Structure formats: C-alpha cells, structure tokens
Structure 1
C-alpha cells in the first residue's frame, strides 16, 4: 500500500517536474516587468497568509490571485509565482515544525498546486479547441473548464493525503470539502476577474483597489471573531465558576471541569488527575482507548504532567514525542503531537492536574494556557471545598474510634431502607451485635486494650459483609449491620459466619504478649417480616439479642421469630 510519505513526495516530484518541463518547453515569457512581478508576488503571499476562517471552512483570495496572474503575466510566470508564494507561505506557517516533516508538507503543497495549475491549463486549452467555433462564448467556457479542473484536482489530492495520513475512509468527507471550497471560489474567482479587468483598463497598480478592500474585510472579520471568541470564553469561565460553586459533590465537580474544558481548548484526549498518596491518578478522562489507563500513577516531576505539578505552572509542549519527559500512557493515541498540562493547586495544597493532547502540532497557544490556568485555579478551589465538605460530612456520620458509621447514620439508613421496601417492595435485615463480657476486659486490661479490641472488631465486621451493607457502632460495645435485600434466615447465617470469625481472631495483645480473643452475641430481625417500623425493628433485634442470645449463654446468634 502507498504510504503517506511516498504519496507526499510523488505529488511533489510530479508537480515540480511538470513546472520544469513546461518552463523548458514554453520558456519564461513575461508580459510585465520584474518589479511588478515582485509586487504581485508579495500581494499573493500576503493574501495567502490572511485567511478568513469560518466554522470548518475558510475564505481566501489565493485562487483569485492565481487566476489574475495568468491573465496579467502569462501562464509560466504565473506558475512560477504560485510556486514561490506557496514555498514562502508554507515555510512561514510551518516554521515551528520538525525539518523533515516541514519539508515534506511544503513540497507536497507546491506539487499539489503545480499539478492543479497545469491540469487547469490543459483543461483550458482542450475546451478552447472543442468550443473554438462558438465565438466569444468559448473563452468563458474554456476558463470555466480550467477553474473546475483546478478546483477538483486540488481537493482530490488533499483527500488522498488525509486518507493515507489519518487512515480515514476515502472520499468520506470529499463532498463537504468541495462545498466548503466552492464558497471560497465563488468569492476568489470574481475577485480575480475584477483584478484582471481593472489591470486591463487602468493599469497594474489598479489591482490595489481589489486587494485593499479584501484586507480590510479580513481584519474587521478577525477583530469581530476575536470579540466573539473572547466573550464565549469569558462566559464559559463564568458558567464554570457558577456551576462548580453550586455543588459540593466531588464527582459532580470533576465532571463539570472535564465538560468545561471542551469550551476552552481543542483536544483528542483530556484527563483530570487528582493527587492521592503521593501520585497523580486519573479521576475523569475522555479519549483514551485502553482501559488500563485508569491504573496510571504519575509522581510529581515524572513526565510532562508531573513536571508541571512540581513547577506549579502550566506548560505547552509541541512535538511532545521528542520530549524526554513524554510518557507513552496506555490508550494515548500514537499520533499525539501537542500536549498542554496545568497544575491544580489550592493555596499550598496539591490537588491534581489537567492534561490535554492533540494529534495536531502547535494547536495550543498562550491564550489556551491562560484560560486553562484560570479554569484550573477555579477547579482547585472547588475540589478542595468539595473534599472539605466530604470530610466534614464523614465526620458527622462516622464513629471516631472505629471509623464505622455512627448511631445517627445507622438510624437514618434504617429509615431509608424502610421507605425503600415500603414503596418498591423487598426485604432487609438488621443484626445487632454485643461483645460478651466486654466490661470485664476493660477492667482487667484497661481501656486502651478495650479500644484496640473495638477497632479490630470493626475491621472483622467490615471484612465479612458486602460493600453495599452498612456497618456501624450502635453504642458502647454494641454494633449494628444493615443488610439490604437479605431475609432473616440469610442474615442469621451471615451473623453466624461473623461470630465464628470473631471467635477465631486475635483482636488485641497484652504487654506480656498474650493474645486476647472475644466472643459476641447477635440478634437478628427483618423488615417487614418481623416489624412494621424502624423502632419496632430495632426493638425486635434487640430482644433477640438480650432475651435470646445473652440469656441462653452468650456467643450465639438468635433470630427474633425463633425467640
């Protein structure tokens, strides 16, 4: 299969070869002075550098100057002028690219325009011969044939390059490209005709009456579009700030930040990293094709993203794959060329970082970096506030010693489960656990050992239930476990498994090295089978514990209905 590199140099060689062959055959016969040739060349270069971008299309006077140059200077000088103007503009536009990459694209563009140019001349001469007997109409038809040939050949060669470079389906976007380019030609062709006509009637310098209005329109339009873009960016930043401050949910804040990035900078991949346990880990991201990316950990100073975190300021890196710091992360597109990373820092606290990548070189500007830095500052504060709220919330519902849920949370969760079952159906169970003879342990070994027993017992309880089950310290040496969608019989089995695990686990050790073991008693009740309300459920489970398990010798599990 033809590679993009071979295609690039094939088009370049063919185009430049055509130019040399026709120049050798026809000679360099110019109808104007070299001074005017140079002036027109400068105007052509300026027009090619001043393109009006509209959505995914653009307007340019490029073909207008090509058309006028043929009529003013003759075909071969016009081809030479287009050759030179393409070389100059492409060298300027791609001055930051790597030399090899720059060279290939520059000569591809020259070859592409030369093939289109001489193809258009061929279509013009063929049409002139075919319609020679039709009077003055044949001139318009012949020129129209040349314009259409130039138009189609240009687009076909560009489409071929995109197909080979991006591996996209051939001609999938040709129709849209033709429509977009046709808009340019509808403006450029009349402009070229007007330039040629004003030259014919008023002399060479009259072409400035066409060139100057175009340049005025370009700058007015650019100024207008910059105002719109600035307004959109400021509005996006305001909306982001307003939205982020409207929630204290950490997951919502992270998603808002990721979505907001789309309005501020282009990207193929985007990731918001959070700083956890001494490393940056992906929190929310898009564009990565490998699921292993979620396991990535980047230390401060490691890679481009870690480097920006360590330095405390954002950075843009072009040709990033040549940067020694570049990390080939799982799922990152192989054709990544540009990267922008900004740190998230709130005061002196490291919050995380935002990293964007693109397959286009030099896609990120200082303006993008400034906007992303503002967003990062807002995001860092919002994330810090959300984390603080989350910690405060956890403190309000967490037992300080065991880190389990506290009584308040357990009671609220019982209310939620009762309402869920009441409206959706189903069942849930409650286990109340009490440590046997815990006061004797405290009296004998001291409260420090007692606290250690409570803490280690909490770990055993958590390790023997599901993630969706709620485990809490109900008070003193009492614990409660809420089991959604579990019947009383199943809950009794779970409680028995926990009782056996506790009995076999060393939960503390004395100063002399003696291992301490305890036993527990448990009461089980379920809703709605055993109770009609939260208070009723707690009372039934408590009765099963006190009047069943405790009175029957302890170290037992008792269901309410069996009591």
Structure 2
C-alpha cells in the first residue's frame, strides 16, 4: 500500500504542477498581453531557447544547459509574460523534438515548471524593489540577484521532487554532485544572459543571437570534457571493481559488490543477479537491490522463460528500451511490471553460463549501447570473480562433505558439535545426538558386493536427510555409521525423529542390480541428550554409541534412548 501510494502521490504532484503552470500562464497573458511589436525578437529568442534545450550536456546526476541565459535575457528585455511564453514554448518544442520516450506528461511538466519558476522569480524580483526599466544598474543588483536565486531554488525544487522516485537511491555525494553542476549552470548562464542583453542594446538582435555561437561551441567543448571525465570515472570504477572482486572469495559479498560498484557508473532503480542452479535447472535471484526485493526474490526463471532465461540460453546481452513496447515481455512476471528500461547481461566463464545480471529503470529509453558495453565489461570481471567464489565454495564444501553419501563428514560433525555445546553453555540450550548403524552391513557387502553397499549407504544417508530439519547436522561418522546433531531437542523428540528414520529405512526397497531382486535394509539407533543424560560434552556421543550397541544386542532394527536402556526393552514393530 505504501509503495502504491508513493506512485499515486508522485503522479498527483506532476499534474498539480502542470495545472498550476497552465493557470499561471493563462493569467499572465490576460493581465499582461505580449507586445506583438517584438514578435521578431520573440521568435529569435524562442529559437535560441530551443537550441539551448537541444544542446544539453548530459551528466550522471543531472545536466548542463544555457537555457537560463535565454530566460534572463528575455526578462531583462521584455516583460514577465514574454519571458514565460518564450520559456514554455522553448521547453515544449525542444522536449517534443529531442524526447526519446515521447512522454507528453514529462514535456508538459517541463513547460509548467519553467512557468512557475519564471513567475515566482519575477514576483520575488519586484517584491524586493526591482526596476521595470534600466534593469542592469547598480541600484538593481540586489533584485537581479534575487531573481536568479529565486529561479534557481524554485526550478531545482520542482525538478528534484519530480526525479525523486528514480533518484532516491542517490547518496549524499550524488546529490551534492547534482547540486554542484546546477550551480555551475547558473554561474555560467547568468553572465551570458547579461552579456546578451548588453550586446542587444548596443548592436541589436543579430549581435545577441551571434553571441550564442561561441556559447554553443563552449558547450560542445564542455560536453567533450564531461565525456572524458565520465570515461575516466568508468575506467577507475572498472579498475576498482577488478581489485575488489579479486580480494573476495565469499559469494554473497562478491554479488553485493557487483551491484554496488555497477551503480557508480550506471544508475538503476532495481538490480538483480540470478545464479544458475544446475540441479533445479533454474536461474534463482541471489542478490537484489530494489524496493521490491521481497517479491522479486521469489521469481526464478528457466532457460525458456522471459528475457532473463533467453539471455542465459543465448549468451548474448540484451537492451530493452521500453518493456511496454516489447511483445516478448508482456507476460513476463517480475521486473517488467514496473521497469521500462532494462539491461540484461549473461555472466559466463569459458562459454559456460553461471548467472545473469539485470538492471533497470522506471523510465523508458534510459539505457543505450554505451551502458550495455560498460555492464558487459563489469559482467566479464564479475563472472571470473563469481567462478572463483563458486570454486572456493565447492572446495570448502568438499572439505566437509563425505564424497560417497554427500552428507557431512566426521570432522565437520565435531565442529558443529563444539559450536552447539558452546551455545548451550551461553544460553542454556539442550541438544541431542543420534547414532545410526546399518545392520548386517558386512554380510550385505559380502553377498551383494561393495558397489551395492555404496548404493545402500547413499540411500540411507538420503533418507536420514529427508527426515531431519535444516538446522540438524547429518554426518557419516565412519564406515556404515551415521551421526545426527539435533539442536534444541530433548531425548523424547530425538527418539521420535529416530523412530521416523528407522521406519523409513526399513520400508525402503533397495534395488542393488537389474538381475537381482530388491532387498531390505534395517538400522539400529542410539539416542542421548545434553544436559539430561550427562553434563560432560565428551560423553554425549559415547552414551549415544552405547545406546546404539544396546539396540544391536537386543534384536537390531530398533531405537534405544540411553536414559531408558536399563529398562526392560520393548521390541519395536518392524
């Protein structure tokens, strides 16, 4: 509900600004009709305003424009109505021509915020005693500064509220960078506007218009400088990413770092890294940066589903300019429901897919080929780091896993046992140990062969895992013996688990060979608990082992709890 309300409030804000701007424009034109004697001047300044909109220097956190120079010159030469009309028409014509997404609402907003800024600045100017004529004079310096400052504050406030949904992830440094470039824009545009006014008074309209040629040239050079600075920044980030990724072998840390570093060069609303899981044959979200993370983490893709699956299958990156216009994505769940622009890049090592990174923004046409190139380079570095992290994780898992049964090994069992004992000392927790031994296993091996014995061990381990919790530790203790550590479990609950395992194994049919009939396998089980049975941690496993051998000596295929083994045994049904 909160997110939906945020979207509604933003739309409401946009339309309120549009209606307010329209109302102010109509009121100004009624109260102060434009002087048609200056029609030629209006048209020339309108063209200059449109050119200023076209030659905007794009920045990661904003843009640079000399549009305010045209606004200031118009205000100094004409009245407020003409200034507003030139500003609005410049914004409308400029945005309609250069706008890639064709968002008419955005174009209207731009026109409206220019109207509100100009009217508000003019009101402030006259409120502090600004002159209607001879505006460039010593007594009029303060009102003129008030006009510039008021226009800047109103324009900056209206625009930043409009951009807030897509820029709310900005850090303070990003907001500071955006503010810095806005200030530079006004510091540059204000002298240009005053100079155009002075040249107009001395040489006429042609001189003021010709001044814009070196201004536009300077903007072009500035654009080159910005591009070089951005290229340098991108290279710095790429170098930093390479260093950072090479320093970490933790998968979660690596994935988080990829999304964090990517945002330094490519702005996004939502970023997701999907990892390819061979067993499930699915691309599963493993790292997410998004307000909708809780919902997105539940959405996985096969290789035949959506653009994420398609990119993983083909190994080719994809750029989506507008999800609403792409037929392939209309039925795709998840990110395409609220993002308009997407970059989707495969993460591959030696032509083998290991994942997919996807970033997106709510605005259409937010990304281009350059963004794709940057993310592809980042993806290449990330894929190598992820492959190293996966290899490290695999080696780490092999070190604690029994190769045959795929459950934990003896060493890891005692590591978890020590951790659980320390936890019980700190918080007063209880825990239990179950020891399991396959009955007549030597005879089974002698009769059916070691291959059949290996199959039996693997199947028993699988059954044990299926009948225990995720927090329980199942390990192959040695030979045909297994051990289970059960946190927060007393002997009664541990016995229930043990009985469930014993019954499941005894009811399982073991197929050892195609030419031989299936056979059955049974287990004997012992249970002990801490601290109920002993306060010595070294004895917990030993007591469970004693209970296990009690089961062996009293008929096998049974469960014995150490605290009850001196009682008259009750034969368990098989």
1:122-271 correspondence to structure 2 within 5 Å: 188-201=189-202, 204=205, 207=208, 211=212, 214-215=215-216, 218=219, 221-271=222-272
Correspondence 1:453 to 2:461: no
Deviations 1:84-141 (Å, cap 9, x if unpaired)? 53344223430x223xx34x54455456656776888899899999999xxx999889
**Among candidates 95, 98, 109, match of residue 93 of structure 1:** 98
Contact 1:418 1:533 (C-alpha < 8 Å) held by counterparts: yes
Contact 1:436 1:555 (C-alpha < 8 Å) held by counterparts: yes
Distance in 2 of aligned mates of 1:207 and 1:368:
39
Distance in 1 of aligned mates of 2:358 and 2:332:
12
Contact 1:288 1:331 (C-alpha < 8 Å) held by counterparts: no
Distance in 1 of aligned mates of 2:119 and 2:412:
81
Deviation at 1:353, TM superposition (A): 0.9
User: Aligned with 1:305: secondary structure?
Assistant: helix
Counterpart residue number, 1:62: 67
User: Aligned with 2:257: secondary structure?
Assistant: helix
Counterpart residue number, 1:293: 296
Normalised by the length of structure 2, the TM-score is: 0.75
Deviation at 1:323, TM superposition (A): 0.6
**Among candidates 434, 449, 472, match of residue 469 of structure 1:** 472
Counterpart residue number, 2:554: 552
Distance in 2 of aligned mates of 1:319 and 1:471:
50
Counterpart residue number, 2:36: 28
Distance in 2 of aligned mates of 1:421 and 1:121:
73
Counterpart residue number, 2:509: 506
Distance in 2 of aligned mates of 1:160 and 1:425:
54
Deviations 1:357-390 (Å, cap 9, x if unpaired)? 2112222233321121111112222222222333
1:398-547 correspondence to structure 2 within 5 Å: 398-418=401-421, 420-421=423-424, 426-488=429-491, 490-508=493-511, 515-526=518-529, 530=534, 532=536, 534=538, 537-546=540-549
**Distance change >3 Å, CA 56–CA 251, structure 1 → 2:** closer
Distance in 2 of aligned mates of 1:313 and 1:81:
47
User: Aligned with 2:297: secondary structure?
Assistant: helix
**Distance change >3 Å, CA 255–CA 156, structure 1 → 2:** closer
Contact 1:30 1:74 (C-alpha < 8 Å) held by counterparts: no
Deviation at 1:6, TM superposition (A): 7.1
Distance in 1 of aligned mates of 2:555 and 2:80:
110
Deviations 1:419-442 (Å, cap 9, x if unpaired)? 555666545433322222223333
Tell me the number of residue pairs that the alignment of Structure 1 and Structure 2 aligns.
541
Deviation at 1:49, TM superposition (A): 3.7
**Distance change >3 Å, CA 20–CA 294, structure 1 → 2:** same
Deviation at 1:464, TM superposition (A): 2.5
Contact 2:476 2:483 (C-alpha < 8 Å) held by counterparts: yes
Distance in 1 of aligned mates of 2:124 and 2:414:
86
Deviation at 1:341, TM superposition (A): 1.0
Contact 2:245 2:385 (C-alpha < 8 Å) held by counterparts: yes
Contact 1:30 1:77 (C-alpha < 8 Å) held by counterparts: no
Deviations 1:59-104 (Å, cap 9, x if unpaired)? 543233233245557888767755653344223430x223xx34x5
User: Aligned with 2:38: secondary structure?
Assistant: coil
Contact 1:531 1:540 (C-alpha < 8 Å) held by counterparts: no
**Distance change >3 Å, CA 442–CA 212, structure 1 → 2:** same
**Among candidates 341, 346, 352, match of residue 349 of structure 2:** 346
Distance in 2 of aligned mates of 1:489 and 1:116:
76
Segments of structure 2 that go 5 or more residues without pairing to the other structure are: 1-7, 169-175, 567-574
Distance in 2 of aligned mates of 1:416 and 1:120:
68
Distance in 2 of aligned mates of 1:153 and 1:497:
72
Segments of structure 1 that go 5 or more residues without pairing to the other structure are: 169-175
Contact 1:288 1:333 (C-alpha < 8 Å) held by counterparts: no
Distance in 1 of aligned mates of 2:325 and 2:556:
71
Distance in 1 of aligned mates of 2:18 and 2:452:
80
Per mean C-alpha deviation after superposition, the further-off stretch among 209-218 and 56-65 is 209-218
Deviation at 1:269, TM superposition (A): 1.4
Counterpart residue number, 2:274: 273
**Among candidates 302, 309, 313, match of residue 310 of structure 1:** 313
Deviations 1:176-209 (Å, cap 9, x if unpaired)? 9999978866664454333222332455565479
Contact 1:16 1:110 (C-alpha < 8 Å) held by counterparts: no
Normalised by the length of structure 1, the TM-score is: 0.76
Correspondence 1:361 to 2:364: yes
Correspondence 1:370 to 2:378: no
**Distance change >3 Å, CA 327–CA 381, structure 1 → 2:** farther
**Distance change >3 Å, CA 491–CA 69, structure 1 → 2:** closer
Contact 2:44 2:209 (C-alpha < 8 Å) held by counterparts: no
Distance in 2 of aligned mates of 1:502 and 1:447:
19
Distance in 2 of aligned mates of 1:396 and 1:157:
59
Contact 1:530 1:560 (C-alpha < 8 Å) held by counterparts: no
Correspondence 1:387 to 2:390: yes
